[in-house]
Amino acid sequence: MAIPDFRRHRRGFVQSAVAGSMLMPGILSELLAADAAPDPLAPKTPHFAAKAKSVIFLFMSGGVSHVDTFDPKPKLIADHGKSVVLDHPETRGRAGFEKLYLKKPDWKFRARGKSGIEVSEMFPHVGDRADDLAIIRSMHTDHSNHFNATLGMHTGSFTFARPSIGAWTSYGLGTVNRNLPSFVVLAPQMPYAGTQVWASDFLPGAHQGTRVVPGAEPVANLARRVPTQSRQQLELDALRDFNEGHLAERKDDPQLAARIKSFETAYGMQSELPATFDLSKETDETLGLYGVSRGQTDGFGWQCLAARRLVERGVRFVELIHTGSSGNWDSHGDMADHGRLAAQVDKPIAGLIADLKRTGLFDSTLVVWTSEFGRTPFHQSADAKGREHHNWGFSSWLAGAGVKKGLAYGATDEHGIRAVENKVHLHDFHATILHLMGLDHAKLTYRHGGRDYRLTDVHGRVVEELLV
């Protein structure tokens, strides 16, 4: 005769007992809590006091040219057309690239704001916010292929799938709003490296990013299919009881635990996400900041405004991926593409910073702008219209919580070819972002496959010079 599994049936016993008033409410709560699996999204205390509560991560997919945007190079202009000898990974062994020639930028730079930081005319509106930015002109990374560099910028790994920085943030801090995911990705098109960009990999599945596709229905199946919320709650409770019983016999199945948590998150999203993406109550002035028309449900301006509304509701990490309405920043053929793409994001990004400041969110929100790498300051011909991939040196910037304002940090050489002064590697970049969120990148680890993993692998330093 089989012995009953009282732990599995305890919930039913407790609920029956409550109906007969046999147990005190406090005892009931303890017994029901004992049945519940540990909550991976419960708020966690950071390693130390955090400057930032949320991150808005602006990713320009395809490789933005640093020498045309945030890294002025007068010497590159003066030496336009001169030949250089370089063993560059993107030109090595390619027919027609036996000789390389310096190529000047297609946009002029000028000093902006009180700080006098030079920003190119490609970004007039972002340039107006120069006094709010800490521009890193000495970024460098380990790979010049889109897939690998994009994977690296998001996971710290250039070769193998690893958890995204957003997933690590969720894992380290949990969430303060149980009705919304802790990590949201606004992505109209799939980026290089696909869903690995926001995956949780070996971390609990509850920490993976939730993709939102701008449009009339940003999240599929968001509308309830049952008549009332109370009816849906009853169905969800019943489903949870069955699932927890199933999970009790399969404790080592992380995908099952993640699936159970996903039902709860989906229920919360149906309650709160429609209002989050409803911009109808935003003023015309606010919509104008982002360049959004009333009733609009797509475009990078919509993404930026939606990001502000997500962080003010407690979402920890929001990534905005810009791939352009017809192609991304991979301007091999013609740098004029950069101008078209910049026009799509320039005003919205500047508007986001201005809106965060006026709503009081700027001091608790870290804004990150980056691409996977830069573009070559040279080509097979000085008159070539485009530029190739370039990982030896490029620009990124930070703004907001805990970041110095009006700062240009680090430098590439006189032609913008290599990062040479105060170099910031990708791992340093990640370590600094985590630090601003109150997380020690060396202590934020997860045991997997017999070893402890972290976002920065065994590298990385916090760039203290960027911090207030």
Domain ranges of the chain: 54-218+277-466, 223-273
| C-alpha separations of 360 from 33, 311, 324, 401 in Å | 37, 12, 30, 11
Whole-structure pTM over 0.75, yes or no? yes
Amino acid at 447: R
pLDDT band at residue 251 using 50, 70 and 90 as cut-offs: low
Helix, strand, or coil (residue 185): strand
Give the confidence band of 259 by pLDDT, cuts at 50, 70, 90. Answer: low
Q: Which of 176, 188, 181 is nearest to 164 (CA)?
A: 181
What mean pLDDT comes out for the span 128-150? 98
| Residue 145 DSSP SS3 | coil
More confident residue, 467 or 20: 467
- Distance (Å, whole) CA 160 – CA 155: 9
pLDDT for res 219: 78
Name residue, tokens 């009006």: 406
| pLDDT tens column, 180-216 | 999 999 999 999 999 999 999 999 999 999 999 999 8
List of E strands, 383-432: 389-390, 394-400, 407-409, 411-412, 419-421, 424-425
Chain mean pLDDT for the chain:
89
Residue 260 has pLDDT above 90, yes or no: no
Dihedrals phi, psi of 15, to nearest 5 degrees: -65, -40
- pLDDT value of residue 263: 60
Is residue 284 predicted with pLDDT exceeding 80?
Answer: yes
Q: Identify which has the larger pLDDT, 349 or 41.
A: 349
Beta bridge partners of 452: 447
Q: Which CATH class is domain 54-218+277-466?
A: alpha beta
Give the model's confidence band at 225: pLDDT under 50 very low, under 70 low, under 90 confident, else very high. low
**DSSP-derived 3-state class of residue 166:** helix
Mean pLDDT, residues 235-257 taken together = 69
Nearest to 399 by CA among 199, 34, 128, 89: 128
